[in-house]
Structure 1
Amino acid sequence: MMGEFDTIRPYNDSEVPAVLARLFSDKAFLDILTHFRFPRFAGALGWLLKPMIARKLRREFAGVTTVATLQDKVEYYVDHTIDRATDGVTYTGVEQLKSGTAYLFLANHRDIVMDPAFVNYAVYHAGLPTPRIAIGDNLLQKPFVSDLMRLNKSFIVHRSITGRKEKMAAFNLLSAYINHSIRNDCQSIWIAQAEGRAKDGDDRTESAILKMFHVSRKEEPFAEVIQSLNLTPVSISYEYDPCDTAKARELYIRATTGTYSKAPGEDDVSIALGITGYKGRVHINFAPPITERFEDTKLLAVEMDRQILGGYRLFPVHYLAYAQWSDADPQLQVPTAAEVFPADELAKAKTEWERRLNECPAEHRPFLVVQYATPVRNQYRVKAGIPL
């Protein structure tokens, strides 16, 4: 029997062995792994390396028959990636999350794969079940990517639908699935506060997303639906964004031509760079779940912004960028980086920031600065009670 959510839900334990078998014989998947593991030999010796990698994977994952054991296996690689690509991950507020309670984590969005991966990491290391992850179908162009994501508790948000009726149906199904996951399955959900990454560093909650949580339970008051979902604001802060110069380029092209069209495979490059590129320090803050009554999406969005921007960790680079930002807000009392951070930490940040600025073409630089400066403006506005 087809279940109501079969077109979007993550895979169940019973599906794991068949999906793994399919993955390990997928040519495109093995290609990517070969290039990742043996970049120098993948071209000439791919024919020899691919079957070898497939055999190794089958051996390594032979005993994996559930999503939980798969996540335990993958955790080793995630920890390894985090060790290599960051100067450490810290988190606050995770201790207030209770076992046996499902949460709706609404987070700012900077990186396609690593945002939910870091939330997973925090929740996993706190000994709690990892959330199900919302992922746009625009990122699932290849069957193996869809398989990989759905094995790792991802569910699909249909963004590429065009018809109005079809859009509403997809919106409704997504709403019903999120409510079902939290209230019936007792499984947490991670979803970004807006569609697409905040490429200019301006994290804002889209009221359409908050409206979507309610749409499948329209007959109930909005405030009660939100209270039943344990809506939890999450702030994800990267000291450095591996995709910052690519984002600066896109922002520059948009500002000068009015549009930007992605090259084929551009998302794949962003994903790879986002995973493996240097991030400096990373901090994840979990605010307490929203318990106050909000009668509409606009008021709730303001509160989500207040929590997410207030919980964002500002690093020295953010203050350095703010000091050279032409759009800095003169009415805000923002201290200099030297007033906030010790000299050695600041010196290290100055070196790295200079390097990034120098690597960025001069005309793109203002768009690099804006990515790091905006979170400072937003947080100090929130602290001062000034509307964003």
Structure 2
Amino acid sequence: MSELVDKYADIRPYNDDEVAASVARLIDDNAFVDVLAKYNLPRFLSTFSIVSRALVRRQLRKKWGAISTVEEVQQEVSRYLAMLVKRTTSEVTFSGLDKLDPKQAYLFISNHRDIVLDPALVNWGLFSYKMKTVRIAIGDNLLQIPYITELMRLNKSFIVKRSIKAPKEMFRALSHLSAYIYDSLIGGNSIWIAQKEGRAKDGFDQTDPALLKMLQLQGRKQKKEFSEYIRELKIVPVSISYQYEPCAIAKAKELYHKLHHGKYTKSAGEDIASIVEGFSAAKGHVHLAFGQPVEDGCDSPEQLAKTIDEQIIDSFFLHPGNYIAGGCKQAVIDKKDAAEFEQRMALVPEELKSLVLAMYAKPFERKAELNSSESYK
């Protein structure tokens, strides 16, 4: 193992020589096996753990027993993702990928609506265009369960240490992360990272300048100007839009609780439930718009954040629900689409309807604002 890889051993994804051992740990993990049994076996079988675990482990050894490289993991993930796309979407479309250089490593910064699906679908697009898949930034708040850590690090995820609170330790961790991202890009590995911590639960996609300041830490070490260093990173904004907002009711409940009680504390297993719902719920049409590498408008973190937001808002694909919630009366809304959206809204508890509608309306409103505002021209 090289000195460079050792330097990032605490946060990096697994290497080929670590894959077989990680797969073996997953197969031996009762909690992981029980989750698979719950969602894949008949209910009467999944309640008998001795039987269900034996059945699931036999299938896992049959399917995964020979996997020994990251590339083989990616191939397996692509098969699962193909099934998921077929089962839970009407279609997944892409724009802008044909304008990117398949030999170039990029730093993809995207809006964030679903914990796992956002980067998974970015990878799906890259995979479809014969481009290398990304290394994925994931917060350590999602890695409280051993099998989640194994799955994420097997699937090219690296760890963002959000749980650190002491200022000096936080600075060291952020500098370490900044160096890892830079070295990954220089080494020909693209990166995906969300534009801010956490999902945009209210539909308001906005880049946090603090993220961009973190990226610049390695540039400061190299004594480079902010704009010069940012151009080196080849930042590509990505706008992801779902016809049906992932986990809309759960997001609205969190917003409602904060609005009426001042704060919201997640219950144990809530993130896992969101991941499962994101995978299993119907999503309708999903579109991913890949922008162009940022060359201008990057003289400061705040200006760069505005530039990224401009691309994400402008390229956001508006679905019928966005037009309806935004109050658009144009003839762009098919009657069937309008009826489906109305049926979906009928399932939302009355006290949450305004919040869910606002999630759908926000991208329409911001795009209209962008198109009319002189400040974005």
What band does the TM-score fall into relative to the shorter chain?
A: over 0.9
Closer, same or farther: CA 39–252 of 1 in aligned 2, 3 Å: farther
Gapped runs of 5+ residues in structure 2? none
Partner of 1:49: 52
Q: How much has 1:9 moved relative to structure 2?
A: 0.2
Q: How much has 1:293 moved relative to structure 2?
A: 5.4
Q: Separation in 2 of the partners of 1:162 and 1:179?
A: 24
Q: Is the 8 A contact 2:95 2:288 kept in 1?
A: yes
Q: How much has 1:386 moved relative to structure 2?
A: 5.1
Q: TM-score, normalised by structure 2?
A: 0.95
SS in 2 for 1:80: helix
Counterpart of 2:208 (choices 206, 209, 218) is: 206
Partner of 1:280: 284
Counterpart of 2:332 (choices 337, 340, 355) is: 340
Q: How much has 1:84 moved relative to structure 2?
A: 0.5
Aligned identity (percent) is: 42
RMSD: 1.4
Q: Is the 8 A contact 1:102 1:230 kept in 2?
A: yes
Pairing 1:95-114 to 2, within 5 Å after superposition:
95-114=98-117
Confirm whether residue 76 of structure 1 aligns to residue 68 of structure 2. no
Confirm whether residue 220 of structure 1 aligns to residue 224 of structure 2. yes
Q: Is the 8 A contact 1:106 1:234 kept in 2?
A: yes
Pairing 1:231-270 to 2, within 5 Å after superposition:
231-270=235-274
SS in 1 for 2:94: strand
Structure 1, 67-76 or 119-128: larger mean CA deviation = 67-76
SS in 2 for 1:285: strand
Q: How much has 1:348 moved relative to structure 2?
A: 2.1
Counterpart of 2:28 (choices 25, 30, 33) is: 25
Q: How much has 1:317 moved relative to structure 2?
A: 0.7
Gapped runs of 5+ residues in structure 1? 324-334
Partner of 2:120: 117
Q: How much has 1:387 moved relative to structure 2?
A: 5.1
Partner of 2:148: 145
Q: Is the 8 A contact 2:46 2:52 kept in 1?
A: no
Partner of 1:360: 348
Q: Is the 8 A contact 2:297 2:303 kept in 1?
A: no
Q: How much has 1:318 moved relative to structure 2?
A: 0.6
1:162-196 Cα shifts (integer Å, max 9, x gaps): 1111111111111000001001x210000000100
Q: Is the 8 A contact 1:16 1:65 kept in 2?
A: yes
Pairing 1:155-170 to 2, within 5 Å after superposition:
155-170=158-173
Letter in 2 for 1:339: A
1:99-130 Cα shifts (integer Å, max 9, x gaps): 22100000000000000011000000100110
Counterpart of 2:195 (choices 184, 193, 196) is: 193
Moved over 4 A (4+): none
Q: Separation in 2 of the partners of 1:145 and 1:115?
A: 17
Q: How much has 1:34 moved relative to structure 2?
A: 0.5
Q: Is the 8 A contact 1:241 1:278 kept in 2?
A: no
Q: TM-score, normalised by structure 1?
A: 0.93
Q: Is the 8 A contact 2:45 2:51 kept in 1?
A: no
SS in 2 for 1:216: helix
Closer, same or farther: CA 386–240 of 1 in aligned 2, 3 Å: farther
